[in-house]
Amino acid sequence: MSYTVLARRYRSRDFDEVIGQAAIARTLQRAVEQDRTAHAYLFCGTRGVGKTTMARIFARAMNVSDDLQDAELIAEAIMRGDDLDVIEIDGASNRGVQEARDLIAGAGLSPARCRSRIYIIDEVHMLTTESFNTLLKTMEEPPEHVKFILCTTEPHKVLATIQSRCQRFDFKPIPSKLIADHLRDIVTREGVEVEEAALSRVAELGNGSMRDALSVMDRLLAGGDASITLEEVEVTLGLPEAALINDVIDGIASCSAGDTLRSAEKLLAAGTSIDQALGSLIEYFRRMLIVSTCGIDTEVLDLSCEQREGIAERAAQFDPPSLVHAIAVCEAVARQGRLGASARAVFDAGLVRLALAGDLIDPSKLAAAPVMATPKRIAVESNETPTKKHAKPKPKPKSKRDKPAVSKKSVPAKPTPVLPVDGADSLETIWKQLVSSATSQAAKAAFEGIQAIKFDGDIVVIRSDGGAVPAMLLERIETKLSDAAGRRIRVQSDSPLDEGPPALSPQDAAGDPCVELVKDLFDATVIQVRGGTNNKGESA
């Protein structure tokens, strides 16, 4: 006799045996007991969560009663999917209009032995639009003895007109804890010992699907071992070794880039791909984040006590923001590795970044730090050319190899700060030194008729003997003072600024022959007039 896989051999046979869908099972069971069953149902959910199994159990509950002859045989046939009155149709291979017409023709026939003729259409979203439209009328008003149970993993592909004619039930992914409990019961029946950590790992790999988890367990049992450990699960399935992942995490926690890279090299040398390694790291960082924020006894994680203790011990070396940052870095590395030219280089760089995260500057802390005013040496412009005795000759390189690399755009070094900057007295001192250090003719001429009359905090008020201070000169003095003080210094004048010649209004240019000629040639409009004379002969 051929071997039957676990998913078929241990398929649920009653409403109470369906794992993780208690609410749906209870609703359907009560509908049968109260004789309130609808003519069409839509079961939605991901693969392996019990849609087809629930459909068979529901069909058996509707069609098999105690007074039915050969009730047990009919029930067995329904659960196998080969009963005459419960027809299972694969929507992927029977998706055309002709198949829909055949279904409608068969719906008119009376059931052979049971109360109802039930159609279970699996993967119903694979039907074409024409097939759906063909079924519309029959599904809305079918014969009294006909019922439809539609199953799909992609409900958004089912026409809204079909969904509106059905009672919809959404099957949720099965929690890992329930999958692990069911697996434990199955391996006990099979007479095989499996470690709790291994059961938890297989349940995680199921990713909410009982059938996927049972398929993984079938693969492990095929090895013929009487006892299955976590290490055997990792080796058999080609998963990253937990010990090597822990070594990488420990290297990051100890801020040792070398240890982190060496552990990562061992992980990849063991046959783990970069994507698998990053996925395992992301999952481990997620677990540490949950433990550090929700506590070690949180129900968010379906882990054994031993696993929780190990995660909590490592999570104590990180804070939640660091773990969030680590997850983001690993996600970015995975994305860039798939798009870039060298996934390994990006992978190593990401691990070094995580290991040296404590040495990197936090921009938020840098922005929040108080700005310390740094005193600077006063630098005054000079038109004097340095003599040869002050110039330092540059040594000629002996060869191209010895020639130093010099950037074409060299940045001059800033002068060494020498002046204090706190208080009005120090600002006055800076002003005096700025004036006295003016050696060029241009600088001396600038300060000749100007004096500072008031120092108020970071504001200097100046007065010019000529009355008007040119705006350009005012800005120049303000720049020099700010550079010398190491902070923003504002310079104000107690006399009006010299803004240049006043502007005339456009009306003043009206009637000027030259202006009128320009307007005619260029189809222009006069906006502002500066300089020259107006039409009255007055100087502008």
Fold that domain 176-237 belongs to in CATH: Helicase, Ruva Protein; domain 3 (1.10.8)
Query: CATH assignment of 423-498, given 3.30.70, 3.90.400, 3.30.300, 3.30.2010?
Result: 3.30.300
Question: Is residue 81 classed exposed, middle or buried when 0-12, 13-18 and 19+ CB atoms within 10 A define those classes?
Answer: middle
Report pLDDT for 446.
67
The secondary structure of residue 247, as a DSSP letter, is: H
CATH topology identical between 242-359 and 423-498: no
Tens digit of each residue's pLDDT (9 = 90 or more) over 145-156: 999 999 999 999
6-170, superfamily in CATH? Answer: P-loop containing nucleotide triphosphate hydrolases (3.40.50.300)
Can you tell me the distance from the alpha carbon of 71 to that of 238, in angstroms, rounded to the nearest whole number?
A: 47
Tens digit of each residue's pLDDT (9 = 90 or more) over 243-260: 899 999 999 999 999 999
CATH 1.20.272.10 is the classification of domain 242-359: yes
Can you tell me the distance from the alpha carbon of 261 to that of 283, in angstroms, rounded to the nearest whole number?
A: 19
Across residues 113-130, what is the average pLDDT?
92
CB 369 within 8 A of CB 320: no
CB 199 within 8 A of CB 180: yes
Across residues 463-491, what is the average pLDDT?
78
More confident residue, 539 or 168: 168
Residue the block writes with tokens 């050696």:
439
Share of the chain above pLDDT 90, in %: 42
Q: How confident is the model at residue 20 (pLDDT cuts 50, 70, 90)?
A: very high
When the pLDDT of each residue in the chain is averaged and rounded to a whole number, the result is: 80
The tokens describing 360, both together, are: 């990197």
Residue the block writes with tokens 């049972």:
214
Can you tell me the distance from the alpha carbon of 399 to that of 271, in angstroms, rounded to the nearest whole number?
A: 49
Q: How confident is the model at residue 112 (pLDDT cuts 50, 70, 90)?
A: confident
pLDDT of 498 strictly over 60: no
Tens digit of each residue's pLDDT (9 = 90 or more) over 35-53: 999 999 999 999 999 999 9
pLDDT of 268 strictly over 70: yes
Can you tell me the distance from the alpha carbon of 176 to that of 202, in angstroms, rounded to the nearest whole number?
A: 9
Domain boundaries, the chain: 6-170, 176-237, 242-359, 423-498
More confident residue, 329 or 537: 329
Please report the DSSP string for 394-413 in residue order: PPPPSSTTTSPP--SSPPPP
pLDDT of 491 strictly over 50: yes
Residue the block writes with tokens 């639009």:
129
Residue the block writes with tokens 């058996």:
60
3-state secondary structure of 299: coil
Q: How confident is the model at residue 236 (pLDDT cuts 50, 70, 90)?
A: confident
Closest by CA to 95, choosing from 52, 137, 134, 56, is 134
